[in-house]
Chain A
Amino acid sequence: MTTQVPADSALMALRDCVRAAQADRTRLRLHGGNTKSFYGEPATGEPLDLRSIAGIVDYEPTELVVTVRCGTPLAELEQVLAARQQYLAFEPPHFGAGATVGGMVAAGLSGPRRATAGAVRDFMLGAVLMNASGELLHFGGQVMKNVAGYDVSRLLAGSMGILGPIVQVSLKVLPVPAAEATVCLSIGLREALSQMNRWGAQPLPLSGTSWAGGELMVRLSGAGAAVDAAVARLAADHGTRLIDPMAARAHWSGLREQTDAFFDDPLPLWRLSVPSGAPIFELPGRQLVEWGGALRWFKSDADAAFVRQAAATVGGTATRFRAAEAASGVFPALPAPILELHRRIKKEFDPRGLFNPGRLVAGL
């Protein structure tokens, strides 16, 4: 059980809004800093700003848990954690100055460290959801292990707000690695994919991989001795070059925030989430690979059906992550029985369809 949320004025105001919307069937577009409004199916409904529900409720570094309200700026949370040498290990993208913790959870996006550290959902310990009747529901808690009831907290990560406003979350935090180094190797994609997967099976302190334009970058994090040993080994075995720490930080930040030159292009950005060992995709346009091969970005004007089919063939999915104009058809269609489960869950949690209609799945 989490600390009970005190009914302060911001929450009372949210409750009143939700109840009024419930009464007159107003659809609500829940939002924080709008830094990820480009992502997902187009939003409709009356904007409802959740940024007034803000603040770090509880943070004890030795418990490795922080409890924070949804409207808290992500930058503020990261600063507080950094002051105690801790961080969000899933490296959530901000995509702009005003990113909030609620938006981070609702979008469910994770950065370069995802393949080895885990995703947002892996660090969700608890959440407080406001339901369509304006009641606050607590799920999970502030402890690492908790199997009481269904795991609704993790269900909320990536829910795009369709189940209701996520007003508070408890997240597992980790110590900042004592040491970090990035090495680089000039190789082709085929070789890079095979190498990333082979390294993944070895006890190396990997914390990020990327390949673009013939350059494979590998980040190593952990105890100083472990990182030093890995850098030496990779140099000896593969001839990798050590990258200047400033340049390395800029590189990983550029991927996390999509400020890297690769993303600077008006063509649609496709995100292919695929098994790490999937072969090279023969798609027109430029590509960038992350997550040991499990994430393939394409800047491409290829036909949507063609891109989706390519991903589906290897058991993956393709999402039109960014495009010049917002349009539906961002996410691929869900398989029929899975879609039916989504329909039923949405109907149970939000029978009148108030919250972020259509934002995750068209028509829901």
Chain B
Amino acid sequence: MSTTTMPNNQAPSVASGVSSLAPDLRWADVAQAPDPDRSAALVAALRAALPAHCVLAGVEQTRPYECDGLSAFRQLPVAVCLPENEQQVQQALRICREHDVPVVARGSGTSLSGGAMPHASGVVLSLARLNRILSVDPLARTARVQPGVRNLAISEAAAPHGLYYAPDPSSQIACSIGGNIAENSGGVHCLKYGLTVHNVLRVRGLTIDGEIIELGSAALDVPGLDLLALSIGSEGMLMVVTEALVKLVPKPQLARVVMASFDDVAKAGDAVAAIIGAGIIPAGLEMMDRKASAAVEPFVKAGYDLSAEAILLAESDGSPEEVEEEIERMMTVLRDAGATALVVSRSEAERLRFWSGRKNAFPAAGRISPDYYCMDGTIPRKNLGRMLVAISEMEQTYQLRCMNVFHAGDGNLHPLILFDANQPGEWERADRFGADILELCVELGGTVTGEHGVGIEKINSMCVQFSPAEREAFFALKRAFDPPGLLNPGKGIPTLARCAEYGKMHVHGGRVAFPDIERF
């Protein structure tokens, strides 16, 4: 797994540190203790319907599924189902429906928002065994895949045809296409090549009633409402995907990256705007602040300029003529924007080395800090400077360090808040630090999540971003697809009651009134 929120989450001390937390407001909906008789009946029904090795129950067997990449949130389910075909998925859903228990679909478990965290009285439906690439059609430029197929495996299968699957989240070596669909995953190339929603043509899946539905098609559009767009990014709350038809695109002949140093973060931000303003859409446009480059450089030896306040990586891809022209133009813009140093990759190995630091920012955070908490807000790029100043102030307020990596091209921030879960109160401070960043994202005209999803993590922050009428519209869609509300309940969209409770507790600036009173 290339992305984990807390790289040492296997250490028992971290787990105990987390479990000693005061009951979390976000948790109540998914942590209701199950009725033992009902749970036993559920497990018996699942075992009767599915092969023995496809049903896991009991603490020992279900422990590996208690959390996803956001390990601060853990919960054991009643059972884990690992169906091997669509029919078994259908049976598992039918049983959950009959027993009226929640179902949490899970891919590779790399979610950073707790989207795949289990429900205490429910079932985790792992799609990991539906991991076959069913076909690759080089002429139509599509691949038909099962949900458990890893993102990178699609590109590997398409490579002999000179094609690849464009969205490339940092976790692409591990994350599944089903999970990408649930989260509408992005990556470092999505300004030019789009998100999951732009690269999936059709999904096939099951409703909670076990009905098979197909949204979208191998054609470019279908009549009726665009339910395909609605299903992508729906965090497993509308349907369970059993198959997807994804778009493949021709692999660019060449890619080169410019690495630019800036002595001021705001100047780097302006340089990003200047590149876009010059009519260039780079294949990738990423920024790291000094704390981030200092953390990764000893680790990956990418050759970063450690005296720079910010480093920009701007990539160009296409035909050799195109790349040469675009690199030339970007260099001019970056120079005019005040870059203190410019280096262009001269080989594929060097290009990958320049990127390696950016791609390894999360593990690097894990090297310099016992734990880190990755945020995912998006803001209009023009507000970057303001955001970074505010984050520095928050570092003082919460007495925690924060390093910043940033999908600069599309305004998606990944501040990494460094903390030590073994120190009493640090996780709580990190959590509030994060909530403050997200609230500021909304205030600056952005959103609480650009690509990691709401899950359980940002459920309270959703109260800040959406009005009651807007949240009701989300619930309306949820009811249309899932009338009994059994698909991943308690995630994604906060109820009116939850927001009311959060509103009462939440005081601007992240401080909770009367912190010594128990809350849940």
Q: Are A317 and B252 interface neighbours, CB within 8 A?
A: no
Cα distance A133–B407 in the bound complex, in angstroms: 39
Q: How far is the CB of B447 from chain A (nearest CB, A)?
A: 4
Cα distance A143–B465 in the bound complex, in angstroms: 14
User: Is A297 close to B, CB under 8 A?
Assistant: no
Q: Are B141 and A200 interface neighbours, CB within 8 A?
A: yes
Contacts of B229 in A (CB 8 A): 121, 151, 154-155, 157
User: Is A268 close to B, CB under 8 A?
Assistant: no
Q: Are B322 and A159 interface neighbours, CB within 8 A?
A: no
Contacts of A1 in B (CB 8 A): 442, 445-447, 465-466
A28-40 vs B, Cβ < 8 Å mask (1 yes, 0 no): 0000000000000
Q: Are B225 and A277 interface neighbours, CB within 8 A?
A: no
Cα distance A138–B162 in the bound complex, in angstroms: 41
Which of B9-17, B44-52, B213-221 lies on the face that meets chain A? B213-221
Q: How far is the CB of B272 from chain A (nearest CB, A)?
A: 8
User: Is B223 close to A, CB under 8 A?
Assistant: yes
Cα distance A149–B449 in the bound complex, in angstroms: 9
Closest to B411 in A: A143
Contacts of A183 in B (CB 8 A): none
Q: Are B253 and A148 interface neighbours, CB within 8 A?
A: no
User: Is A7 close to B, CB under 8 A?
Assistant: no
B448-481 vs A, Cβ < 8 Å mask (1 yes, 0 no): 1111111000100010011101110110111111
Contacts of A122 in B (CB 8 A): 194, 197-198
User: Is A175 close to B, CB under 8 A?
Assistant: yes
Q: Are A150 and B220 interface neighbours, CB within 8 A?
A: no
Q: Are A143 and B319 interface neighbours, CB within 8 A?
A: no
Given known pairs A338-B213, A345-B225, the reply for A147 and B219 (CB within 8 Å) is no
A260-277 vs B, Cβ < 8 Å mask (1 yes, 0 no): 000000000000011111
- In residues 407-452 of chain B, which contact A (Cβ within 8 Å)? 407, 409-412, 442, 445-452
A167-188 vs B, Cβ < 8 Å mask (1 yes, 0 no): 0000000111010000000000
Q: Are A147 and B161 interface neighbours, CB within 8 A?
A: no
Give which listed residue, A129, A225, A294, A348, contacts B319 with CB less than 8 A: A225
User: Is B515 close to A, CB under 8 A?
Assistant: no
Give which listed residue, B139, B274, B445, B446, contacts A198 with CB less than 8 A: B139
Give which listed residue, B318, B319, B382, contacts A63 with CB less than 8 A: B382
Cα distance A229–B318 in the bound complex, in angstroms: 12
Cα distance A277–B445 in the bound complex, in angstroms: 43
Cα distance A17–B213 in the bound complex, in angstroms: 37
Contacts of A224 in B (CB 8 A): 325
Q: How far is the CB of A200 from chain B (nearest CB, A)?
A: 6
User: Is A114 close to B, CB under 8 A?
Assistant: yes
User: Is A287 close to B, CB under 8 A?
Assistant: no
Q: How far is the CB of B65 from chain A (nearest CB, A)?
A: 23
User: Is A152 close to B, CB under 8 A?
Assistant: yes
Q: Are B219 and A273 interface neighbours, CB within 8 A?
A: yes
Which of A211-219, A245-253, A299-307, A329-337 lies on the face that meets chain B? A329-337
User: Is B370 close to A, CB under 8 A?
Assistant: no
Q: Are B476 and A348 interface neighbours, CB within 8 A?
A: yes
A272-285 vs B, Cβ < 8 Å mask (1 yes, 0 no): 01111100000000
Given known pairs A1-B445, A119-B220, the reply for A228 and B321 (CB within 8 Å) is yes
Give which listed residue, A138, A147, A202, A337, contacts B211 with CB less than 8 A: A337
Q: How far is the CB of B35 from chain A (nearest CB, A)?
A: 31
User: Is A226 close to B, CB under 8 A?
Assistant: yes
Q: Are A63 and B378 interface neighbours, CB within 8 A?
A: no
Q: Are B277 and A151 interface neighbours, CB within 8 A?
A: no
Give which listed residue, A135, A148, A342, contacts B447 with CB less than 8 A: A148
Contacts of A348 in B (CB 8 A): 476-477, 479-480
Q: Are A142 and B224 interface neighbours, CB within 8 A?
A: no
Q: Are B467 and A201 interface neighbours, CB within 8 A?
A: no
23 A-B pairs, CB-CB below 8 angstroms?
A62-B276, A63-B381, A63-B411, A131-B473, A137-B469, A138-B470, A141-B446, A142-B445, A143-B412, A144-B190, A144-B410, A144-B411, A145-B195, A146-B378, A151-B232, A175-B280, A201-B161, A224-B325, A275-B217, A317-B219, A319-B223, A341-B481, A348-B480
User: Interface of A with B (CB < 8 Å)?
Assistant: 1-3, 60-65, 85, 108, 114-115, 118-119, 121-122, 129, 131, 133, 135, 137-139, 141-152, 154-155, 157-159, 162-163, 174-176, 178, 197-198, 200-205, 222-226, 228-230, 273-277, 291, 294-295, 315-317, 319, 331-332, 334-335, 337-338, 341-342, 344-345, 348-349, 360-361
User: Interface of B with A (CB < 8 Å)?
Assistant: 137-141, 161-163, 183-184, 186, 190-191, 194-195, 197-198, 207, 211-215, 217-227, 229-230, 232-234, 238, 250-253, 273-274, 276-277, 279-281, 318-319, 321-322, 324-326, 378-382, 407, 409-412, 442, 445-454, 458, 462, 465-467, 469-471, 473-474, 476-481, 492-493
